[in-house]
Amino acid sequence: MNSRIYLSSPHMGGTELEYIKEAFEANWISPVGPNIAAFEQTLQDYSGANHAAALSSGTAAIHLALIMLGLERGDEVICSSFTFAGSCNPIVYTGATPVFVDSEEDTWNMDPELLEEAIEDRISRGKRPKAIILVHLYGMPSKIAEILKVAGKYEIPVIEDAAEALGASYRGKKLGTFGVIGIYSFNGNKIITTSGGGALVSNEKTFVDKARFLSTQARDPAPYYEHSSIGYNYRMSNVVAGIGRGQMEVLDKHVAIRREIFEWYRDMLENIPGVSFVEEETGMFANRWLTTIRIDSVLSGADPEYIRQGLEKENIESRPVWKPMHLQPVYKEAPMYDRGVCGKIFSDGLCLPSGSNLTEEEKKRIETQLVKLFEVTKPAKWV
């Protein structure tokens, strides 16, 4: 049996161990230490945000962002439906209710028109949403200008969930720096990883200072443990931050390789009727964390599940796209502003193996199998 090809596996650059070794030699194992400060500095320099706090996960970063925006029980927060549960679960942690908004077809991200409709409708029902969580799915920038215009009109702060979008940019500015707060994730399958971790970035020093305070159990200045607010254990450790420092050195390389992988898939499949890709619009620079396709089963004769199982037979991992939140059992009661777009993408979308460490031999295996699968399903009328 051929060795397994993963969707997106950790890819170390080489210097991570040196930073970890430094931490061990100085016995800076926990909690804070020089790797954390250095990692935060590189995140600031890279993103262009004025301040950054290294945390235990992207989900923790969203939770702290919501707390700092003053979320309370009974409040409402708007969130993209087409995302991973880590985007919206923190809304529920605060006792607030998520209100989901559908995607537009072009970028698969939040539909700005529908966002405005949702806000108007929530206000007419007596609840002004307290925040908007905007997700840049698979590293593709949202229609940010349009979203910010709507958010600005109603004066609702935007939290940018750039967990999948580190290294992507919009009109020359890095994603994560458009909202009042941005978050990144360094979970195992993301474009860079610290084995597990996240960060919160902002131009507002008060937010980042407060995130550090809350993430280390909210200790007031005193020799004993004094608490006047509820804290969390959400800080990144100094050992983990060492991995992050090494990974930041190869981030741009990973982006370049993932973009090449996207081009390679597009060259391979673009002439197959019914297969389509998500394209960048002018001013958008995607990190192509994962290459995703849509498969029109009438035109191609194939459906995503057939292709997924066909790849699986060759020990190649692919995966359905994220199942939208409004279709999740746990969120079935949550309000949803829907035009059926992300639900449809869920039924015809597929994520292809996109790791920056794919070898030429592995790419050959993927290509052979993909081309074969589409060839077999090809309707007679193609020829």
Per CB under 6 A, the list member of 58, 141, 179, 335 interacting with ligand PLP is: 58
Nearer to ligand PLP, 108 or 285 (CB): 108
Mark 154-173 with x for binding to ligand PLP (rule: CB under 6 A) and - for no binding.
-------x-xx---------
Token reading at 207: 């937010």
Considering only the stretches 6-14, 82-90, 172-180, 300-308, report the one whose residues sit in contact with ligand PLP under the rule CB under 6 A.
Answer: 82-90
- Residue (23 or 135) nearer to ligand PLP, CB: 135
**Given the complex with ligand PLP, which of 170 and 374 has the nearer CB atom?**
170
Residue in 10, 86, 179, 324 binding ligand PLP, rule: CB under 6 A: 86
Whose Cβ is closer to ligand PLP: residue 110's or residue 275's?
A: 110
Instruction: Supply the minimum distance, in Å, between the C-beta of residue 137 and ligand PLP.
Output: 7
Query: Which one of residues 8, 35, 185, 291 is an interface residue with ligand PLP (CB under 6 A)?
Result: 185
Stretch that binds ligand PLP, among 7-15, 52-60, 295-303, 366-374 (CB under 6 A): 52-60
Among positions 35, 47, 83, 291, the unique one binding ligand PLP when judged by CB under 6 A? 83
Q: Which of 90, 112, 179, 198 binds ligand PLP (CB under 6 A)?
A: 198
Q: Which is nearer to ligand PLP, 59 or 81 (CB)?
A: 59
Is 135 a binder of ligand PLP (CB under 6 A)?
yes
Q: If DSSP states are collapsed to H, E and C, what string results for the chain?
A: CCCCECCCCCCCCCCHHHHHHHHHHCCCCCCCCHHHHHHHHHHHHHHCCCEEEEECCHHHHHHHHHHHCCCCCCCEEEEECCCCHHHCHHHHHCCCEEEEECECCCCCCECHHHHHHHHHHHHHCCCCCCEEEEECHHHCCCCHHHHHHHHHHCCCCEEEECCCCCCCEECCEECCCCCCEEEEECCCCCCCCCCCCEEEEECCHHHHHHHHHHHECCCCCCCCCCCCCCCCECECCHHHHHHHHHHHCCHHHHHHHHHHHHHHHHHHHCCCCCEEECCCCCCEECCCCCEEEEECHHHHCCCHHHHHHHHHHCCECCEECCCCHHHCHHHCCCCEECCCHHHHHHHHEEEECCCCCCCHHHHHHHHHHHHHHHHHHCCHHHC
* Residue 193 interacts with ligand PLP (CB under 6 A): yes or no: no
Q: Cβ-count burial of 70 within 10 angstroms (0-12 exposed, 13-18 middle, 19+ buried)?
A: exposed
Residue 84 lies near ligand PLP (rule: CB under 6 A): yes
Q: Taking contact as CB under 6 A, which single stretch among the options 5-13, 78-86, 356-364, 372-380 is the one that binds ligand PLP? A: 78-86
Give 336 or 373: the residue with its C-beta nearer to ligand PLP: 336
CB closer to ligand PLP, 22 vs 161: 161
Binding site for ligand PLP (CB under 6 A): 57-59, 83-84, 86-87, 135, 161, 163-164, 185, 187, 198
